[in-house]
Chains A and B, each alone.
Chain A
């Protein structure tokens, strides 16, 4: 009986280890692709979110600014285009949509809520205007519209 269990388990062990390796490599890959994305220079062509917090006080990595050159989601998991490991963020916290040159923000069912100018917003799209203060998790961003 032991032989049978062990014979079956040997395949399962190998599957587990390789699945683990796959998982790690996938996460590392996502990590790289998000960091390289946020590393993009602000060209002035697109609106962007500017971090107001003092970066050094946060215990996780966050960039000074995030360019909004298309629809984005913000959250704690690597699935998000803007991925910040703030423990107060939900996995998928909020979304940004760009429609005919107008930028909208909406909540994605986050636990701690998304705030624009200290007002909690819903899952409905909320139009952003230049200088709006956005607060989510421990983060405070300033919405800056494009220069053009």
Chain B
């Protein structure tokens, strides 16, 4: 009996997730007197999927157990909200969730098996630039940003994938510092030495430049923050850091002064009430929703998140705040925080520069992405459209996040040394 007891005590968090889903789907079943068995079935699938995946990770000791649990809780909250907003989207999201978990395991295994990730620097560069060019050439415009590509009936957001590739690129760069040979420029017979950091800086800003052309301001900001943070951690040259900070400040100021779209975002952030039916519509509707929720929310199905534009994607946090209250919203923020904490802890235990940088890059990406979008919808910072990882509706975002999580999971296992014979 005591053995049983201890097994369960170790499983408490996963039981909480299952209980949460059980109650959530029962409620969704009753909501608007739908009584649709599909909803209960969906609930069972989600619960089974989470339990099974967790059991695999735990018993095969595939590294850190908490990452997956935290993310499962986030995804459960997201699925519940999306289901409540629109059943059809909810069912689709569960399909993405299943796909995401499969990709999570695949990327875990692939990342573990392949040992030459850090030697593909040029490949990452070519891959991400190709993806950017494809987006520009064949991209569709959806809600202001040209970032969707239609391939055989499936719309994809390549910039979501580029995020991970970009992190790999930077990580492999830091790992191979010194061994990367850059040919010297010859101008009028003078040899000009080009520093490797200069090249990397240029490449990083090229990435951001592409995002700016696509009008993905949030994406550009996220890329910069990830790049700058990694630079801060791995680059000892203070001057380079200052130069980059300078570029960002100057670029930001110029943008705020001369780029119409940025001006609009800043002015609606400062005073959304002036053009409440136009440019300020989204953010004010979001604030109405958060305000109406109060501390404990209206309860699932009792609020009016249908008034929030894009409630299932960018503004899902507002919908959560309306129906689960500020306490619910703060809980979501806390979940992201422990995810970030866990990610950094994993990164700190790894010695290899490449793996460390990848783990950090992924963690930082999750963290900043969360801050940018939540800060935006609550009017703490100017609003830029970006998805809330693991919660927002959308295949590209959810699957990419799970791929990134799989990689982080693989790094958390931290057994790279054995095959390299370091022990």
A–B contact with Cβ pairs below 8 Å: the answer is yes
Partner-B contacts on A (CB < 8 A): 2-3, 5-7, 9-14, 16-21, 23-25, 27-28, 55-56, 59-60, 75-79, 85, 87, 90-92, 109, 111
Instruction: Please state if A19 and B16 are interface contacts (CB–CB under 8 Å).
Output: yes
Instruction: Please state if B301 and A79 are interface contacts (CB–CB under 8 Å).
Output: no
Which secondary structure dominates where chain B touches chain A?
Answer: helix
- Does B233 reach chain A (CB closer than 8 Å)? no
Given contacts A5-B27, A90-B3, whether A77 and B10 have CB atoms under 8 Å apart is yes
User: What 1/0 flags go to B305-334 for Cβ under 8 Å of A?
Assistant: 000000000000000000111011001001
Chain A residue numbers with a CB within 8 Å of B10 are 76-78, 91
Instruction: Please state if A60 and B61 are interface contacts (CB–CB under 8 Å).
Output: yes
Among the listed A21, A25, A87, which residue makes an inter-chain contact with B59, where contact means beta carbons less than 8 Å apart? Answer: A87
Among the listed B24, B341, B418, which residue makes an inter-chain contact with A13, where contact means beta carbons less than 8 Å apart? Answer: B24
- Does B264 reach chain A (CB closer than 8 Å)? no
Most buried by A among B16, B65, B331, B342: B16
Instruction: Please state if A3 and B299 are interface contacts (CB–CB under 8 Å).
Output: yes
**C-alpha spacing A76/B4, complex, angstroms:** 12
- Does B195 reach chain A (CB closer than 8 Å)? no
- Does B232 reach chain A (CB closer than 8 Å)? no
**C-alpha spacing A55/B325, complex, angstroms:** 48
A22 to chain B, nearest CB (A): 9
- Does B119 reach chain A (CB closer than 8 Å)? no
Partner-A contacts on B (CB < 8 A): 2-3, 5-7, 9-10, 12-13, 16-17, 19-20, 23-24, 27, 30-33, 59-61, 65-66, 69-70, 73, 77, 296-302, 323-325, 327-328, 331, 334-335, 338, 341-342, 415, 418, 423
Instruction: Please state if B30 and A17 are interface contacts (CB–CB under 8 Å).
Output: no
Chain B residue numbers with a CB within 8 Å of A77 are 6, 9-10
Which secondary structure dominates where chain A touches chain B?
Answer: helix
Closest residue of chain B to A19 (Cβ to Cβ) is: B16
> Which 9 residue pairs spanning A and B have beta carbons closest together?
A91-B6, A6-B299, A20-B16, A10-B299, A23-B13, A60-B61, A17-B331, A56-B418, A59-B61
A90 to chain B, nearest CB (A): 5
A85 to chain B, nearest CB (A): 6
Instruction: Please state if B27 and A20 are interface contacts (CB–CB under 8 Å).
Output: no
Chain A residue numbers with a CB within 8 Å of B23 are 9, 12-13, 16
Chain A residue numbers with a CB within 8 Å of B9 are 77, 79
Instruction: Please state if B73 and A17 are interface contacts (CB–CB under 8 Å).
Output: yes
Chain B residue numbers with a CB within 8 Å of A12 are 23
A8 to chain B, nearest CB (A): 8
Chain B residue numbers with a CB within 8 Å of A10 are 296-300, 323-325, 328
Among the listed A13, A25, A91, which residue makes an inter-chain contact with B20, where contact means beta carbons less than 8 Å apart? Answer: A13
A47 to chain B, nearest CB (A): 26
Instruction: Please state if B338 and A7 are interface contacts (CB–CB under 8 Å).
Output: no
Instruction: Please state if A20 and B17 are interface contacts (CB–CB under 8 Å).
Output: yes
Instruction: Please state if B66 and A17 are interface contacts (CB–CB under 8 Å).
Output: no
Chain B residue numbers with a CB within 8 Å of A55 are 423
Chain A residue numbers with a CB within 8 Å of B61 are 59-60, 85, 87
Pairs across A and B, CB under 8 Å, 12 listed: A2-B33, A7-B302, A9-B299, A9-B300, A10-B298, A10-B324, A20-B13, A23-B16, A25-B338, A79-B9, A90-B3, A109-B3
Instruction: Please state if A24 and B302 are interface contacts (CB–CB under 8 Å).
Output: no
Chain A residue numbers with a CB within 8 Å of B338 are 21, 24-25, 28
Chain A residue numbers with a CB within 8 Å of B60 are 59
Closest residue of chain B to A85 (Cβ to Cβ) is: B61
Closest residue of chain A to B32 (Cβ to Cβ) is: A2
Given known contacts A13-B24, A25-B338, A87-B59, what 20 new A-B pairs fall within 8 Å (CB)? Answer: A2-B30, A5-B27, A6-B300, A10-B296, A10-B323, A10-B324, A13-B20, A14-B327, A17-B73, A18-B327, A18-B331, A20-B13, A20-B73, A21-B335, A23-B16, A24-B13, A24-B69, A56-B418, A56-B423, A109-B2
Chain B residue numbers with a CB within 8 Å of A91 are 2-3, 5-7, 10
Among the listed A6, A11, A109, which residue makes an inter-chain contact with B301, where contact means beta carbons less than 8 Å apart? Answer: A6
**C-alpha spacing A24/B67, complex, angstroms:** 10
**C-alpha spacing A11/B168, complex, angstroms:** 42
Closest residue of chain B to A92 (Cβ to Cβ) is: B6
**C-alpha spacing A79/B358, complex, angstroms:** 32
Closest residue of chain B to A31 (Cβ to Cβ) is: B66
**C-alpha spacing A79/B302, complex, angstroms:** 42
Chain B residue numbers with a CB within 8 Å of A7 are 299, 302
Instruction: Please state if B77 and A17 are interface contacts (CB–CB under 8 Å).
Output: yes
Chain A residue numbers with a CB within 8 Å of B70 are 24
Among the listed A13, A24, A75, A92, which residue makes an inter-chain contact with B324, where contact means beta carbons less than 8 Å apart? Answer: A13
Closest residue of chain A to B19 (Cβ to Cβ) is: A16
**C-alpha spacing A45/B33, complex, angstroms:** 70
**C-alpha spacing A116/B109, complex, angstroms:** 38
Chain A residue numbers with a CB within 8 Å of B423 are 55-56
Chain B residue numbers with a CB within 8 Å of A59 are 60-61
Most buried by B among A11, A17, A92: A17
**C-alpha spacing A42/B202, complex, angstroms:** 50
B268 to chain A, nearest CB (A): 31
Instruction: Please state if A27 and B66 are interface contacts (CB–CB under 8 Å).
Output: yes
A42 to chain B, nearest CB (A): 19
